[in-house]
A and B are shown apart, each in its own frame.
Chain A
Amino acid sequence: MSHTAVRTRQDPDRTAARTHAVRTAWVRRRDRRGFVFVAPFIAAFVLFILVPLGYAIYSSFYTTRIIGGTVFAGADNYRQVLGSGQFWSGVVRVVVFGAIQITIMLVIAFFFATIFDLGLVKFGRTFRTIYFIPFAVPIVVAALMWGFLLQPRFGPFTRLAEVAGFPGTNFLSDKLMLPSIILIVIWEWTGYNMIILYTALKSVPRDLVEAAILDGARVWKIIFRIKLPLVRPAIVMLIFLNSIGASQLFVEPLILNNYQNGVITNYWTPTYFIYNTAVAGSQYNLAAAMAVILGLVVVFISVAALIVRRRKGELT
């Protein structure tokens, strides 16, 4: 990932330090003191991430019976989840959602980041500030607002669709729910992604672009042959983090469910299914197994992507 690149580029002093400083016991003791800085964070990390995660894995191998209490169940919960068509339909929905949403969002974000970076727009600063506003809107509030806007009977968008010649459009119907959520998530996150890409583009050395211009390169060539390859680490990181976000799609369906009955099933996304299994169904052990499998799916996809990139020689 990008931090390795950053480190080798920006931190050459470490190798130098290694060669010229003899590693005495004094040095090692001093370095051990570095742990003091890290310790509070690690303690909180262990307590509030590793311990609960371990507990989730542990409890996923147990089951609670009405008679007999909690008993070891082996892989029963996993068998049940893996064989559940509902669970996998949620996984598939989230993968489709992520593939479409992340692609559209990154294309838009890269487009605007590029034209801001090249200075091809007037009032660029103002636009960047405006685009960033949705990041300040909690997802719950964003979903509530869009729920109103897209509401089947009174929503202004529904009325606009009517005027535009699509009477009876229901943005929250079975067919249009996923596209509507894609729209909402794009609204929420495009500006944020744009700012990150803009920053990365800004760090491309100026002389590279100047040299290309002197060679007579067209603007397209500058964008796709010079800028894009140099910001690839940032794009890869964005894909990774956005995918993790997409795999946990939860709040939007939960809130939109209050605007339209019967479209969001209780297994609509994996996280929503886990929530319903644990809260409404009180089947914590089964929910734990689902959460573990969801995590493994994310790890699997990430590792697979990493291997593919390594094969293609993009990583060393």
Chain B
Amino acid sequence: MTAVDLSEGHRESRRERRRRERQQEQFDAIPIKLYGLRRGTVTGLTLLCGLFAVFTLIPVVWIVINATKTQANLFQTFGFWFARPFAFFSNFGRLFQDIGGNGTYIRWFGNTALYALLGGGGATALCTMAGYGFARYRFRGSQALFYIVMAALMVPITAITFPLFLVYTKVHLINSIWGMILPSLVSPVGMYLMRTYVQLSVPRELIDAARLDGAGEVRIFFRIALPLMVPGVMTVLLISVVAVWNNYFLPLIIFSKNDLFPLTVGMGVWSYAARATSGTDVLYPMIVIGGLVTIVPLIALFLLLQRYWRGGLLLGSIAN
């Protein structure tokens, strides 16, 4: 796909691309008449898909509706319909306040964005270089190194996080943003993905030709390989950002100051406090609207980048 885009020599608009992709899809698909199915099969299967879509959307719809409710209404009214008073804006406003001394949501939001940007961006840079290195060079021990990295997927996160915590106490990385960002830079899955992508999309001949022309290795990487790797890089970026955005365990262990918490830990603290105070702190509406504000940016990011994850690069990227 990308190769075609580049050779066409012009940037197609989003609508053009969408139309082309849809036409391609229709062209690729085998006409369903040929499968010899009973009439009504398509309708039936579409309905089934609709059912599963409803199941998928239930919590999302619920959180949108209930972000507009007061604490009393949250528990006393029907969960899938609105109730008066409409408390969305007062709930939203309280995201900017410190509630019950647990910390300020907006601060956590900023922290998460910072960690995701630096950690996810850095992880993408390391994965891109390493994936290229493993895919297109044979140096001594490269195979062994690659398999060691892959084997590390089987190591439980707990086996890494607690020792990290103990090491951090000695090097003063407890309650430091670097303690969160630096470990986020390692993404074996992202590296594996990048390596596979390079094997499929950066031809060896191209690199050899550039070498014959006298280009240095670094120049080849930035000028020739990297442009071809862009869709892969975007996918790895998406996955790394989501991984940091969702990370709960590491920040839970290494942060004790609530103005360093990312969203996940802050929300966890709220949910614990809500139970501990039996709801006297009016935290439940905060949990609901906080959850909504947490997922909106990610869903937006997904819709923006969907042609990348649709493109099938996610293969092999399921572990977070």
A and B together in one complex: yes
**Chain A residues proximal to chain B, CB less than 8 Å:** 2-3, 6-7, 10-11, 13-14, 17, 30-38, 40-42, 44-45, 47-53, 55-56, 59, 108, 112, 115, 118-124, 127-142, 144-149, 153-156, 159, 187, 189, 191-193, 195-196, 199-200, 202-203, 206, 209-210, 213, 218-219, 222, 234, 237-238, 241-242, 244-245, 247-248, 250-251, 254-255, 258-259, 270-271, 274-275, 278-279, 284, 287-288, 290-292, 294-295, 298-299, 302
Interface residues contributed by chain B, number (CB under 8 Å) = 114
Interface residues of B (CB under 8 A from A): 28-30, 32, 34-37, 41-42, 45-46, 49-50, 52-53, 55-60, 62-63, 66, 74-76, 78-80, 125-127, 129-130, 132-134, 136-140, 142, 145, 149, 152-164, 166-167, 182-183, 185-186, 188, 191-192, 195-196, 199-200, 203-205, 211, 217, 221, 242, 245-246, 248-249, 253, 263-264, 267-268, 271-272, 274-275, 287-288, 291, 294-295, 298-299, 301-303, 306, 309-310, 312, 314-320
Which residue, of B55, B62, B74, B315, has the highest number of chain A Cβ atoms within 10 A? B315
**In the bound complex, do residue B263 and residue A138 qualify as a contact, i.e. CB atoms below 8 Å apart?**
yes
In the complex, chain B residues whose CB is within 8 Å of the CB of A153: 75
A-side contacts of B145, CB under 8 Å: 38, 42
Rounded to whole angstroms, the CA-CA distance of A155 and B76 in the bound complex is: 10
Q: Are A118 and B291 in contact, CB atoms less than 8 angstroms apart?
A: no
Q: In this complex, what residue of A is CB-closest to B293? A: A141
Docked-complex contact A144 and B138, CB < 8 angstroms: no
Which residue of chain A has its CB nearest to the CB of B298?
Answer: A136
Across the A-B interface, give the 9 residue pairs with the lowest CB-CB distance, nearest first: A34-B137, A37-B133, A156-B79, A199-B312, A41-B130, A291-B159, A136-B298, A38-B133, A52-B163
A48 near B185: Cβ-Cβ < 8 Å: yes
Q: Which residue of A lies closest to B221 (CB)?
A: A37
Contact between B291 and A145 (Cβ–Cβ < 8 Å)?
yes
User: B159, A288: Cβ atoms under 8 Å?
Assistant: yes
- From B133, B138, B140, B152, give the contact of A49 (CB < 8 A): B152
Pairs across A and B, CB under 8 Å, 27 listed: A31-B137, A41-B126, A41-B191, A44-B126, A45-B152, A47-B182, A53-B152, A56-B160, A118-B32, A121-B45, A121-B46, A124-B49, A132-B309, A133-B57, A140-B248, A141-B294, A144-B267, A154-B74, A187-B56, A195-B314, A203-B312, A241-B153, A242-B318, A271-B158, A290-B158, A294-B159, A299-B154
